[in-house]
Amino acid sequence: MSYIRHFKPDSVFLVTGGAGFIGSNIVEKLLENDFTVRVVDNFSTGKRSNIEPFLSNSSFTLIEGDIRDEKTCMESCEGVDYILHQGALGSVPRSIEDPLTSHNVNSTGTLNMLWAAHKKNVRKFVYASSSSVYGDNPDLPKVEEKTGMLLSPYAATKMTNEHYASLFHQLYGLETVGLRYFNVFGKHQDPHSVYAAVIPIFLKKLLNGESPVIHGNGEQSRDFTYIENVIEANLKSALSPSNVSGMAFNISLGDRITLNKLYQVLTESLGVTIKATYGPPRPGDIMHSQADISKARKYLQYDPQYSFSKGIELTIDWYRENLRGK
Ligand SMILES: NC(=O)c1ccc[n+]([C@@H]2O[C@H](COP(=O)([O-])OP(=O)(O)OC[C@H]3O[C@@H](n4cnc5c(N)ncnc54)[C@H](O)[C@@H]3O)[C@@H](O)[C@H]2O)c1
């Protein structure tokens, strides 16, 4: 992580959604490197336990607030150099059940943050987009320029954000970088929510001796990426040159495995012989997903250091410690 030395030591970072899975991991890395970090989070899906260890650190400030509130956004951006905007309501099914709330948090919240970043002269606005913007385009691997018909309100919010971020660059000169995360995994990812992601759900069930449900036939595939690679992408985006502004990049490993294979890896790593239960496919889910990460390699010098198997090993260690019996 030698690139981290390119930040000025007195840099101030704002991490929205900093109590969530990805946000709290980014905050931890920034604090380990002695930067000043502010978090804005309303704890709708984030956990206090994720940021508990930081509360006693004098370089850390928590603003408990909502990015739907313009005033909160303005106050959060005061004196900030870099924004790493992770705050959002994730999950395709959640957005199908309640598109208004997903829109208000994800799109209006992002617009509020962009406006505040512009007004407060923030140097760089890095934000979480999503592979969901590829919609029904079946091409593999996914290249940034070829998106398809969107399949969910969640995808529409993320695509809207990319348009706004690009507009803010064009109209106001705000330096924005969008990161289309694929399937991220690692410590702090919530296994308990009804909208939880597949790896924490599988691990929670398997560690408790239960059979997880695989939706569909399990031959659908995903490009799973360990959290450390996503932290790298955020920090390198913050350091990226001005000519990168307004663009969005695929952030993943550039590989894919099926859910059946994932299940096999997890059961073998845990040393259990529980069989999965197969259920109906979920609406809005795509069959395959795999990123072409050459654009991020070229423009951001993104160079993911953690393989899938290394990431799974570290993730299992953390869930073993933190999840059994919960
Ligand atoms: N985890 C993934 O695989 C993945 C994939 C693609 C995109 N993303 C995106 O990455 C970002 C982070 O995702 P995550 O997996 O860490 O999710 P998460 O739910 O763990 O974190 C989101 C955080 O945002 C906070 N938040 C939600 N609404 C808010 C509001 N109105 N005001 C302030 N804070 C609010 C939540 O409390 C939570 O702490 C999101 O933008 C998500 O859409 C994640």
Closest ligand 1 atom, residue 46 Cα: 39
Active site residue 299: no
pLDDT, tens digit (0-9, with 9 covering 90-100), for 106-135: 999 999 999 999 999 999 999 999 999 999
Task: Name 189's Cβ contacts closer than 8 Å, sequence gap at least 6.
Answer: 21, 196, 197, 199, 200, 227
Of 154, 226, 306, 319, catalytic: 154
pLDDT, tens digit (0-9, with 9 covering 90-100), for 132-156: 999 999 999 999 999 999 999 999 9
Averaged pLDDT for residues 190-219? 95
In the reported structure, the alpha carbon of residue 290 is separated from the centroid of ligand 1 by a whole-number distance in angstroms of 21
Closest ligand 1 atom, residue 154 Cα: 43
Say what the pLDDT of residue 255 is.
97
At the second CATH level, the architecture of 10-186+225-254+287-305 is 3-Layer(aba) Sandwich (3.40)
Averaged pLDDT for residues 93-114? 97
Say what the pLDDT of residue 130 is.
98
pLDDT, tens digit (0-9, with 9 covering 90-100), for 52-91: 999 999 999 999 999 999 999 999 999 999 999 999 999 9
* Residue 87, ligand 1, Cβ within 6 A: yes
Longest Cα–Cα distance of the chain, Å, equals 57
In the reported structure, the alpha carbon of residue 88 is separated from the centroid of ligand 1 by a whole-number distance in angstroms of 4
* Residue 21, ligand 1, Cβ within 6 A: yes
Say what the pLDDT of residue 283 is.
75
- How far is CA 63 from its chain centroid? 20
Collapsing DSSP to helix, strand or coil, 34 comes out as coil
Cα–Cα distance list, 139 to 158, 178, 247, 250, 292 (Å)? 20, 21, 21, 14, 11
Closest ligand 1 atom, residue 50 Cα: 39
**Whose C-alpha lies nearest to ligand 1, atom 18?**
20
Structure tokens at 1: 């992580």
For residue 239, what pLDDT band results from cuts at 50, 70 and 90?
very high
Q: Is the pLDDT of residue 299 over 90?
A: yes
pLDDT averaged over the chain?
Answer: 97
* Residue 159, ligand 1, Cβ within 6 A: no
Q: Is the pLDDT of residue 326 over 70?
A: no
Q: Where are the domains of the chain?
A: 10-186+225-254+287-305
d(CA 118, CA 174): 6
For residue 285, what pLDDT band results from cuts at 50, 70 and 90?
confident
> Taking each helix axis from N to C terminus, what angle separates 21-32 and 227-238, rounded to the nearest 10 degrees?
60
